[in-house]
Amino acid sequence: MTAARRRKAGLVRPYVVTDGRAYPSRNTLDLVTLLVAVNGEPLTGLSPEKRRLVELCRPGSLSVAEVAVHLELPVSVTKVLIADLMDSGHLVTRTPIPPARPGNGRVLQEVLDGLRALL
C-alpha cells in the first residue's frame, strides 16, 4: 500500500465508521438511489460522518454513489450510514425505478429522447 493511498483512506478505519458492521440495515439501496435530507431533524448524537452526510444532502438530492464520492468513503460503508440515517428519519429516498422490461418502455423512450436531444 502506498503512502498516498493510506492518507486517502483516512485516519479512521471503515469498520470504525460503521460500528463494525459490513452490511446496511436495509438492502434496498442502489448506486443510483436518490437521497433527500429531511428538514428539521436535529443532528445531535450523530457521528461526524453521519452529520456530514446529512448536511451534504440538505441543499439538494444526490445519488448514493455521489454521496460516497463527496464523503470520500467506500460505497459499502456509505450504504451502512445511509441506512442508519433512513432508520433515524434523517434521510428519505426517492423510489428507484425498476429495470428494463415491457412495462418500462416509457422510461426507455424518455432516455432515448434525452439522448437524441444531444445530437
Partner 1 sequence: MDFARSSDPTGTTVRPARPWDTTDTDVYLRRSVQFAVKLLVVGHFAVGKTTLVGSMSEIPPLRTEEIMTQAGALVDDLAGARDKKTTTVAMDFGRLTLNDRLVLYLFGAPGQQRFTQLWRDMTRGALGALVLADTRRLKESFDVIGLLEEHGLPYAVAVNEFDDAPVYDLGELREALDLLPETPLVRCDARDRRSSARALIALVEYLMEHPRWQPHPLEYM
The x, y and z cell numbers of residue 25, run together, are 440495515
Q: Is residue 62 helix, strand or coil?
A: strand
100 binds partner 1 (CB under 8 A): yes
Residues 71-90 interacting with partner 1 (rule: CB under 8 A)? 71-72, 74-77
12 binds partner 1 per the rule CB under 8 A: no
- Contact call for residue 5 and partner 1 (CB under 8 A): yes
Set of cell numbers at residue 88: 433515524
Window 35-74: contact mask with partner 1 (x via CB under 8 A): --------x----x--xx--xx--xxxxx-xx-xxxxx-x
Query: Is there binding between residue 22 and partner 1 (CB under 8 A)?
Result: yes
Check if the beta carbon of residue 16 is closer than 8 Å to that of residue 72: no
Rounded Cα distance, 113 and 116, in Å: 5
Cell for 105?
418502455
Sign of the Cα torsion 41, 71, 9, 24 reads positive
Residue ranges binding partner 1 (CB under 8 A): 5, 13-15, 18, 20-22, 27-28, 30-34, 43, 48, 51-52, 55-56, 59-63, 65-66, 68-72, 74-77, 94-102, 104-105, 107-116, 118-119
